[in-house]
Amino acid sequence: MNDDGPRTRYENPAYGVARIVLSRPEMWNAQDTRMLYELDADFQRAALDDDIRVVIVAGDGEHFSSCHGPGMVGDEEGMKRVTLAGGFTRPGVEGTMAYEEEAFLGLCWRWRNFPKPTIAQVQGRAWAGGLMLVWPCDLIVASEDMSFSDPVIGFGMSGHEYFVHAFEMNARQAKEFLYTGREILADEAFRIGMVNRVVPREDLESATLELALEIAQRPSFALRLAKAAVNQATEAQGLWNSLQTSFSLHQLGHAQMMLTANQYIDERGWELSPNFGPPKK
């Protein structure tokens, strides 16, 4: 399998709309450092193109994005720094925290604040790292067969690094989601307000584009202001402070694993969530 090609593709499916597509379907769009920074470059391109009013984030193949790929943390290939976090080569949690601050929390926060409307177009799985590409988007259109899951507790951490769980669902739902690592299917996600629309998979692309075109007709500056207003409302509810605290707790989990097992994650997590990860060879 040739896995050296681009990780994303930039498309213009209609005037005013950019579609950024994860293009590593044979790996179920498992992420690596290159993919994240290609995605960021695509966001920059869409940001600087004044003809683009709405951005869709989609994925080729069976699954939107199955996970953060193995061996990702600490891999600097393709990294183009967006924060001043440094120290990736330092031992212990200092190095891994620096990587996660830059490539996980740093990028997710940057995309969450992207100044034009964004829509995640999701099918199959958006699990853990996959969810971290969906939740920063403004709107979510899901295919009927898709599922969300964050099985990261099984690996010794409090949840994935962009910890907005208690903002995406209520506190009791978030706790069950985390404690059990279970899948929330599209219809349940719709019921609890986490996704905007659920459509048959064959209609996913057209339904998302239709929504994007409806939004793109509106004045771009008013869209930008509305997005900022809603984002600031969640910040007033404590989103940013909550993210910082949760990120520190997540790092405490990594530190505990390093102290007790001399590894970054608890490998028993794979047994607890046998379907998690890229396709088994």
Closer to Zn ion by CB, 237 or 263: give it: 263
Closer to Zn ion by CB, 40 or 100: give it: 100
Closer to Zn ion by CB, 68 or 227: give it: 68
Name the β-bridge partners of 21.
9, 58
Minimal distance, residue 33 CB to Zn ion, in Å:
14
Closer to Zn ion by CB, 208 or 246: give it: 246
Closer to Zn ion by CB, 100 or 102: give it: 100
Closer to Zn ion by CB, 38 or 100: give it: 100
Minimal distance, residue 234 CB to Zn ion, in Å:
23
- Vertex 16: Cα angle to 46 and 207 (nearest 5): 105
> What does DSSP say about strands 118-122 and 54-59: parallel, antiparallel, or unpaired?
parallel
Name the β-bridge partners of 8.
22
Minimal distance, residue 132 CB to Zn ion, in Å:
11
Helix, strand and coil in the chain, % to nearest 5:
45, 15, 40
Name the β-bridge partners of 20.
10, 57
Which residues make up the interface to Zn ion (CB under 5 A)? 100
- Vertex 171: Cα angle to 170 and 173 (nearest 5): 65
* Residue pair 68/129 in contact by the 8 Å Cβ criterion: yes
Closest CA to 93 of 241, 259, 268, 281: 259
Minimal distance, residue 118 CB to Zn ion, in Å:
24
* Residue pair 161/257 in contact by the 8 Å Cβ criterion: no
Closer to Zn ion by CB, 49 or 76: give it: 76
Minimal distance, residue 145 CB to Zn ion, in Å:
28
- Sequence-separated (6 or more) residues with CB below 8 Å from residue 90: 98
Closest CA to 61 of 21, 3, 118, 33: 21
27/90 Cα distance (integer angstroms)? 30
Q: In the numeric block, which tokens belong to residue 89?
A: 């080569």
Minimal distance, residue 34 CB to Zn ion, in Å:
18
Minimal distance, residue 91 CB to Zn ion, in Å:
16
